[in-house]
Amino acid sequence: MTYTDPSDRLQELAAIDQFLDTLGLRLVQYKYLSVTDRKTVMSGTDFYKFARDNLSPQQQMTPLLRQYLGLHFDCHYALDDYVILAQLSSQ
């Protein structure tokens, strides 16, 4: 993952450390995972085009979302999350 501003990485690391500290954990390693391989926000239209062209459709959920929520588009699987490996802090 590339950062346009080095302070973005430091801010991200500080937030993760603070979160883990409240749980009594110490960071070992973390990785940001995203289907787009970028942290910048895409517009809804751009993301829909990306999803339609690159991501698997949610074949079971889309009909339910159309029926119960009135969606007028197909849903696709997406990933935008952190994987964090931590261990108990020694106190």
Per-residue confidence (pLDDT) for residue 4, from 0 to 100 = 60
Displacement of CA 42 from its chain's centroid (Å): 13
82 or 91, higher pLDDT: 82
pLDDT at 91 over 80: no
Whether the full predicted model's pTM is greater than 0.75, yes or no, is no
Taking CA atoms, 13 is separated from 30, 34, 40, 52, 67, in Å, by 9, 17, 17, 32, 41
CB atoms within 10 A of CB 51: 20
Per-residue pLDDT of 24-79, as tens digits, reads 999 999 998 888 777 677 788 888 888 889 888 899 999 999 999 998 888 888 87
